[in-house]
Amino acid sequence: MGVISLFKEYLRYLKSPTYAYKRDQPLDLVDVTKLYFMVFALELLMFIPMSSLVGVENLPHAMETVMEQYSGWQVFMLAVIIAPILEEFMFRFHLRYKPLIFLFLIICLTGFNYLVVGDTLDIDAHAAMHDPWIVLDSVTRYLPYVGIMGLLYLLYLGIAQLRKLIDRMIVSEFAFVFYLTAVIFALVHIFNFELGTTPWYFIPLLVMPQFVLALFLGYVRVRNNILYSIYVHMLNNSIPMLLFFLASLSGDLQ
């Protein structure tokens, strides 16, 4: 199948994501790579005008701090090896297993509720990023809700009829799970930027490339095993790192 046909098939999937899509027809590594570069080209076409609108070049990026604190090879290991493995298991491993999908939804619901009541828990989000114990102290007041969510999951595991009912709902509403996973993955990457006075409505534009990437990673994960989505994630992160090393090498030679 040609790359254009593969891309059209991918776009059709995005119209209506389904659970266990073509598991018996996984994509080979060459097709996955060709599809990735089609998606990467789409990312560039979308992000270049958006970056000018938002002024991305003027926003401090977390990677700048990381590069100041660690050597080039340490940054490479973190960005190209460690981060893709961790993020794929955190954000996409669940997409092929109904019990993990339900656990993911439980965690999302718990996290959303925690954000809603965060003001009443007196949490300084900025301070919490530097001192996790602040969150731990406040979470103790949130434990009853966490306990309820944990009990719900145990009931799901222990009661066959309830599990069958929820599993049917997961399959029928898998598109929601698929897109929620992509949205959360994208929003997490907003912490790559120091937003300052950036208007909140620019946030979707800032994370649009991560959202587009997340859709493709989700598709690869649904159809193939987790190693393929890790490979794509590593490939995606290696491109800016390679450009960075080339720019550094060019600067050293001048």
Which among 105, 90, 218 has a CA at the least distance from the CA of 156? 105
3-state secondary structure of 143: helix
Q: What is the pLDDT of residue 137?
A: 65
Kindly state whether residue 139 falls inside one of the protein's structural domains: yes
Which pLDDT band, with edges at 50, 70 and 90, does 153 fall under? very high
- Please give the residue that has the higher pLDDT: either 99 or 54: 99
Domain count, the chain: 1
- Tell me how far apart the alpha carbons of residues 172 and 218 are, in angstroms, rounded to a whole number: 17
Top-ranked range on mean pLDDT: pick from 145-154, 176-185, 233-242? 176-185
- Tell me how far apart the alpha carbons of residues 65 and 74 are, in angstroms, rounded to a whole number: 13
Kindly state whether residue 87 falls inside one of the protein's structural domains: yes
Which among 172, 175, 163 has a CA at the least distance from the CA of 99? 163
Kindly state whether residue 21 falls inside one of the protein's structural domains: no
Mind listing the pLDDT tens digit for each residue in 98-110? 999 999 999 998 8
Asked if 5 and 31 count as a contact pair (C-beta separation under 8 A), the reply is: no
Cα-based distances in Å from 87 to 37, 69, 75, 112, 231:
20, 22, 16, 20, 12
Kindly state whether residue 2 falls inside one of the protein's structural domains: no
- Whether residue 231 is predicted with pLDDT greater than 70 in this model: the reply is yes
3-state secondary structure of 137: helix
Kindly state whether residue 102 falls inside one of the protein's structural domains: yes
Q: What is the pLDDT of residue 76?
A: 84
Top-ranked range on mean pLDDT: pick from 2-6, 63-67, 211-215? 211-215
Tokens of 80: 């190209």
Q: What is the pLDDT of residue 111?
A: 83
Mind listing the pLDDT tens digit for each residue in 124-148? 555 555 665 666 666 676 777 888 8
Kindly state whether residue 194 falls inside one of the protein's structural domains: yes
Provide the whole-model pTM.
Answer: 0.81
Domain residues for the domain of 70 are 29-200+207-253
Kindly state whether residue 23 falls inside one of the protein's structural domains: no
Q: What is the pLDDT of residue 232?
A: 97
Kindly state whether residue 10 falls inside one of the protein's structural domains: no
Which pLDDT band, with edges at 50, 70 and 90, does 228 fall under? very high
